[in-house]
A and B are shown apart, each in its own frame.
Chain A
Amino acid sequence: MNIAVAVDDEVRYEARLSASEAGPAAKRIVVGYGFWVFLLSDIVMFAAIFAAYAVLAHATAGGPSGMQLFNQRSVAIETGCLLASSYTCGMMSLAISSRRYAVTYLAALITFVLGAAFLALELREFAGMIAIGAGPQRSAFLSAFFTLVGCHGLHVTAGLVWMAVMMAQLAIKGLSATVERRLLCFSLFWHALDIVWVWLFTVVYLMGVVS
């Protein structure tokens, strides 16, 4: 008993060497860091589009303004969809780390459905705006709006495709280390999209209705 504890302590001590003594980091950590740098570069790109939108937000050129166009109820539902899908994506990560396949597939399916529901609501909103003549060519404000919200929508679409591909890989290859790392990157991507959406509904929809 005592020996076991001593060995356990030794293992723990070995594991807690400082970063400079511990040797190269595990591949999972290196991959996560690399993908995190990509995500940050993506967020910097979004920052440029956000800046363009903020500059052009009042340049409606006599056309409809955000206050007339935005439907807060549908934005609230879209936000709920994305938040819930982030949560189920987290459940998927937990199921993967404890090797529960059925839960993984179920969580991925719910995440996919919620993401698709978000996308459908957004497309319906776009179609409604274009139908009343408030398309991207109407004013600088609407050009910036469609660029910003559309860019986020494209990212969500890419995320849905990526998730479908990952589920196919999981079914064919099983839960190998490579697939697990890819799924880690996917969940980072999905959660980062949620952060972009938080800024989007705050800056575009809520501030657009306020001012």
Chain B
Amino acid sequence: MTDTQYDRAPGDASALPDMERGTSSGVLVYTIGLALALLLTALSFWVANTSLLWAPGISLGLTVLAIAQMGIHLVFFLHITTGPDNTNNVMALAFGVLIVILVVVGSLLIMADLNDNMMPTAEIMNLHMQR
């Protein structure tokens, strides 16, 4: 009989009885999170300053690193888990991410499109390209 355990985060007391509430494992989780976050941060700064990489790809690379670091923070610091206590949090997070993507990508697309279609005489209105 396999003993399936709920996926619980350290310091995350719940309705469940206290089974294993080891502080040392909690410290380990935070330390792993800090190490990974520092690694990704250092990588971001390196990517932004190196001349080894293909320049047009750097923005994309930085975005990927930021998404990865956001995941590290969510899992190791905010303790978003797959446990039943966390289902609602995960659903709310998914909805929040949807709204954030809609707002940011939508704004950028609309403003870029607006600039493309702007009358040439209306340079003064062209905020995006104004230098």
Contacts and interface: CB of A to CB of B under 8 A. Distances in A.
Contacts of B66: 198-199, 202-203
B127 A72 contact: no
Interface stretch (A58-66, A126-134, A145-153): A58-66
Interface residues of A, number: 63
Contacts of A191: 73, 77-78
Contacts of B77: 86, 90, 191, 194
B11 A93 contact: yes
Interface in B98-118: 99-100, 103-104, 106-108, 111
Contact of A206 (B45, B74, B103): B45
A87 B48 contact: no
A26 B15 contact: yes
Residue from the set A84, A191, A201, A202 with the largest chain B CB neighbour count within 10 Å: A202
B73 A195 contact: yes
Nearest to A141: B130
25 contacts: A36-B93, A47-B100, A48-B107, A51-B107, A54-B108, A58-B129, A72-B48, A76-B41, A83-B34, A84-B34, A86-B37, A87-B30, A87-B33, A97-B13, A140-B130, A192-B78, A194-B77, A195-B70, A195-B73, A195-B74, A202-B62, A206-B47, A206-B48, A206-B62, A210-B62
